[in-house]
Structures are given as C-alpha cells and as structure tokens.
Amino acid sequence: MIDPQGTRVCKFGGTSLADAARLRVVKAIVEADPTRRFVVVSAPGKRHADDIKVTDMLYACEEHLRRGEDVLDPFAVVRRRFEEMIRDLELDLDLASDFEEILREMQGGAGPDYVASCGEYLNARIVAALLGREFVDTAGLICFDAAGRFQAEETQRRMAARLRDLPGAVLPGFYGSRPDGTVQTFSRGGSDISGAIVARAVGAAVYENWTDVSGLLMADPRVVENPLPIKVVTYQELRELAYMGAGVLHDEAIFPVRQAGIPVHIRNTQRPDDAGTIIVRGVPAAADLDRHPLAITGIAGRKDFTVIALAKALMNQQIGYGAALLNILVRHGVSWEHIPSSIDTISVVVRSQELKGKLDAIQEEIRKECQPDELDIFPDIALIATVGRNMMHTPGMAARLFTALAEAGINVRTIDQGSSELNIIVGVEASDFEVAVRAIYEAFVPMQGTVPEPPPPLLPIPPSRHAPRPGSDLTP
C-alpha cells in the first residue's frame, strides 16, 4: 500500500493559484503533510469567470510583439497581477529585476515559448517564498533536443541529481530548455507532465495532482445528473476514458509516473478532504470485485464521427482488401479510429473533421479500387465507450448494455470491443448521444445512496517499480 512516510510530489493547477487567498489554501495543504516535499506550479488561472489567465495575458504580449507593437502596457498588467499577489501575501520578495529581465528578453525576440513560460516561472518564485522552500528552475533540467522533442532519460538523470539532496523545493511547470538554453514548452498538459517528471525523479510514493474538481466522475455531469465519483481507476482505463473525451487529466500527461508505477491522486484544492480519484497501474482482480462493487468504471463519449461502410460478397477471400481501403485513407492524410467488420462487410470510423473537403474523392477511389457491392456513408455518429476493469469478470455485460439502449429506443450503428474486454464502444446517431449515455449509466449504476462505500483502496507498489525502465521516452 502507499507508504504514508514516502515523498509526495504536489502539482497545483492555475485555478488553485489564481490569487493570494487561494495561495494561502495551497500553503495550508502542503504544510498539513510533511511528506509533501516537492511542489510544481502552473501560472495563475482565472480568479472569476470574466478574468483572464496569466498565460493568455502573456500570449497577448507576444501577439503585440509579433505585430511590431509596444508591449509595455500589456506586460504592465501581467506585472501588476503578480505584484498584487506578493503584496496581499505580505511576502518579503522583490521580483523587479526578474520583470525587467523578462521585458528585455521579450523585446529582444526571445519567442513565444519563453514568453508563455514566464507565468510559471514567476508564480513558482512566489510560492517558494510563501512556503520558505528553495526555488528550482526547470530550464536546464527538463530537456528537449534541438528539434523540440522531449528527452526523457536525460531529464530523469538531471532532475534526480538536482533534487536528490534537497529537503523540498518548488518548481515551475510547463517548460524546460533545448541544448542551446532556449526555453521550450510542452504542447499540452505541460504542468501535469512536469509534476509527473519530478515525481519519477524523486521516486515519489504518490503524485498528488491538485485541481478544481474532486477527481474523475463516472460520466459527464452535463449529461448525467450527479454521477458517482470514481475512487480508483487504472492507467489503462484512464487512457480509454481520456481518448473518448473524459476531462480532468490526460493520460499522456502522466506517462512518467505510469512508467515508474507511481500512483496519481487527483485532489480538489477547495475541498481537500474529498477522497478524490487514485490512478494506479493495476488492482488485483479478486480483491477488486469486492472493493469496487460496480462492474463498470466510467462512461465517456464524443460526437462528430463518420462511418464509411462497405459490403462485398466473398470479401474474406480477397487478400489485401482491408489494406487497399486503408491505403486510400492514408493517401488522403486521414487516420481511422475503429474498424468494425464481419465476413462480407467492413466499416471504418473516422473523425468527421478529417474528411472535410476529401470525402467525395475518397468515395470515388473506394469505388474504383475496392469495387464494393454497397458503399454507405453515415455522418453525425457519436461513439460511447463503457469502460471497466471488472467487465471481463461479470457475465451479461453486453446484454445489459444493449437492452438498455433498446429500451431507450436507441439504434446502434456500430459495435466494437477490444481483445482486453476492458470496454465496449457503440456508435449511435449524434442526436441520441445524451439519451444513450444516460440509459447506459442507469443500467449499471444503482440509484444514489444504494452503492456501499468501498474502503480506502489498497495500492501495492513494489519499490522496484519506482525505478525507470531503460529506453523510455515521452512525446508530448
């Protein structure tokens, strides 16, 4: 199980760091547990609905520079935001020289990555002063090559060496640097990735990702009213749910800790006593059925897919038929999502966006090269994934799912289930999406209050899992 004395790395998102009041909350959270030694921070987010994130303010500065306009006024707004936080926190911290250097670098053409990174840099300086911990810059520690590709093993080596003997530190998220010292940012989920890198480097017992929600929910609350929270989810389940649109945390952003077998605990900064969601490599199946009484873990889906459906007699006897179909998509730069098939039919599910301006030409080539008996195009399809590590151990899962859809009057266009039996994906008309999700949820989740609360999850983590695997990499 999680070692209560093991090091914890905490990453706080922009909403958690938006102003002085929230920074005080962060300070209380960190100081409540002495094992929370390393803190990774984002740039300040919105303080209210009509506010502007600091990163967006910095991008506005870069836009002024790109157009050859004076950047003094927009940068002054950024500076005032940070100076206000320092004043409200009553910190003995003077960042005047930092602001002046940043302005000089901006005006000297440092580039958009440098400009965008300044929000995390300045916020980390403030949080370090607030917590009384050392500030450690990630430039020179998080490494990219000259082409901007992340270098996982060199980063691991440098970060581990830098942090090894420190009692604690605060680090900015989102960026590192290239060999020439040029700042390079991650393309997405940058602070989440940075936190995961730090957790791997120090061999953390757990990586706490503090945000503005109390973990993952079993369904989108905009579709299902008050869905149950997910207590424990495996990395594989998270990948399936994230692929189908579930928010909070993208699976690619936590690759470093997944590789090392370090659990991720998603927590709510404003509700620190909530259980949150724990993401783990795996849970013993025999114990999990008792501790996780529901057969499914979550439901997620997305709209805007198109199905290209072919039928041809004796298709199975024509070697290379499927390859010919997929090669047509390749030539047009179109990637496919799923390929449901039977003995004489094959369907390709594609994001509708990828077919814009290409569909007519693709159909013409399919008719010419594949010569199908029938070719149908079904636009406006939604895919819904029902995901659960216990599905393979529970008889009647598919029957329950399709009965629920039938009783709701939903026509299923496509069906796909992976060999892992971790999920069942159905395609329905986009107009039926919300009704279908609710029908599936109600079929598998008892009424609120009837599900027994499982005990805290047991998370066996052999120490060897903290060691990195050789030859690993991460492409953001």
Of the candidates 230, 256, 282, which is a domain's last residue? 282
What was the pLDDT predicted at 238?
85
- pLDDT digit string, tens, across residues 87-119: 999 999 999 999 999 999 999 989 899 999 999
DSSP state of 210: E
Q: Which band of pLDDT confidence, cut at 50, 70 and 90, is reported for residue 254?
A: confident
Nearest-angstrom CA–CA distance, 157 and 201: 8
What was the pLDDT predicted at 402?
92
Whether 269 and 303 map to the same domain: the answer is no
- pLDDT digit string, tens, across residues 68-90: 899 999 999 999 999 999 999 99
Whether 232 and 363 map to the same domain: the answer is no
Concatenated DSSP letters of 403-468:
HHHHHTTPPEEEEEE-TT-SEEEEEEEGGGHHHHHHHHHHHHSPPTT-SPPPPPPP----GGGGSP
Q: Which band of pLDDT confidence, cut at 50, 70 and 90, is reported for residue 290?
A: very low
Nearest-angstrom CA–CA distance, 415 and 412: 7
Whether 127 and 189 map to the same domain: the answer is yes
Q: Which band of pLDDT confidence, cut at 50, 70 and 90, is reported for residue 243?
A: confident
Whether 389 and 274 map to the same domain: the answer is no
- pLDDT digit string, tens, across residues 12-26: 999 999 999 999 999
- pLDDT digit string, tens, across residues 334-371: 999 888 888 899 999 999 999 999 999 999 999 999 99
| Residue 269 resides in a domain | yes
Whether 328 and 266 map to the same domain: the answer is no
The CATH number of whichever domain residue 425 belongs to comes to 3.30.2130.10
Concatenated DSSP letters of 114-175:
HHHHHHHHHHHHHHHHHHT-EE---BTTBBB-TTS-B-HHHHHHHHHHHHTT-S-EEEE-SE
- % of residues, the chain, pLDDT over 70: 87
| Residue 457 resides in a domain | no
What was the pLDDT predicted at 79?
97
- Statement: residue 205 has pLDDT above 70: yes
- Statement: residue 429 has pLDDT above 90: yes
| Residue 45 resides in a domain | yes
Higher pLDDT pick, 213 / 105: 105
Nearest-angstrom CA–CA distance, 50 and 71: 23
Q: Note every long-range contact of 332-340, with CB atoms under 8 Å and residues 24 or more positions apart, other chains counting.
A: 332/358, 332/361, 332/362, 333/358, 334/358, 334/362, 337/305, 337/383, 338/383, 338/414, 338/416, 338/425, 340/414, 340/415, 340/416
| Residue 459 resides in a domain | no
Q: Kindly give, in sequence order, each residue whose CB lies less than 8 Å from that of residue 33, ignoring residues fewer than 6 positions away.
A: 8
Nearest-angstrom CA–CA distance, 121 and 55: 11
What was the pLDDT predicted at 395?
79
Nearest-angstrom CA–CA distance, 70 and 453: 58
Cβ neighbours of 407 (radius 10 Å) = 11
Task: Report the chain's mean pLDDT, rounded to a whole number.
Answer: 87
What was the pLDDT predicted at 4?
53
- Statement: residue 457 has pLDDT above 60: no
What was the pLDDT predicted at 418?
66
Q: Which band of pLDDT confidence, cut at 50, 70 and 90, is reported for residue 474?
A: very low
* Domain range for 55: 8-282
| Residue 460 resides in a domain | no
The CATH number of whichever domain residue 28 belongs to comes to 3.40.1160.10
Helix-, strand-, coil-residue percentages of the chain, each rounded to 5? 40, 20, 40
Nearest-angstrom CA–CA distance, 382 and 380: 7
CA distances 441 to 236, 295, 372, 374, 435, Å, are 20, 11, 38, 35, 10
- Statement: residue 131 has pLDDT above 90: yes
Q: Which band of pLDDT confidence, cut at 50, 70 and 90, is reported for residue 447?
A: low
Nearest-angstrom CA–CA distance, 225 and 179: 50
Nearest-angstrom CA–CA distance, 371 and 318: 12
Nearest-angstrom CA–CA distance, 256 and 263: 11
- CA dihedral sign, ordered 371, 372, 374, 378: negative
First-last CA distance in the chain:
30
Q: Which band of pLDDT confidence, cut at 50, 70 and 90, is reported for residue 454?
A: very low
| Residue 432 resides in a domain | yes
Whether 270 and 406 map to the same domain: the answer is no
Whether 252 and 330 map to the same domain: the answer is no
- pLDDT digit string, tens, across residues 397-418: 888 899 999 999 999 988 877 6
What was the pLDDT predicted at 388?
87
Q: Note every long-range contact of 362-368, with CB atoms under 8 Å and residues 24 or more positions apart, other chains counting.
A: 362/308, 362/328, 362/329, 362/332, 362/334, 365/328, 365/331, 366/308, 366/310, 366/325, 366/328
- Statement: residue 299 has pLDDT above 80: yes
Whether 347 and 383 map to the same domain: the answer is yes
Whether 236 and 108 map to the same domain: the answer is yes
Q: Which band of pLDDT confidence, cut at 50, 70 and 90, is reported for residue 174?
A: very high
Whether 27 and 168 map to the same domain: the answer is yes
What was the pLDDT predicted at 292?
52
- Statement: residue 463 has pLDDT above 50: no
* Mean pLDDT within 39-53: 95
| Residue 195 resides in a domain | yes
Whether 133 and 257 map to the same domain: the answer is yes
Nearest-angstrom CA–CA distance, 259 and 304: 33
Q: Kindly give, in sequence order, each residue whose CB lies less than 8 Å from that of residue 350, ignoring residues fewer than 6 positions away.
A: 305, 306, 307, 308, 329, 334, 335, 336, 337
Whether 305 and 275 map to the same domain: the answer is no
80-97 core/surface letters (b: 16 or more CB in 10 A; e: else):
ebbeebbeebebebebee
- % of residues, the chain, pLDDT over 90: 66
Nearest-angstrom CA–CA distance, 155 and 139: 10
Of the candidates 282, 316, 337, which is a domain's last residue? 282
How many independent structural domains does the chain possess? 2
DSSP state of 19: S
| Residue 288 resides in a domain | no
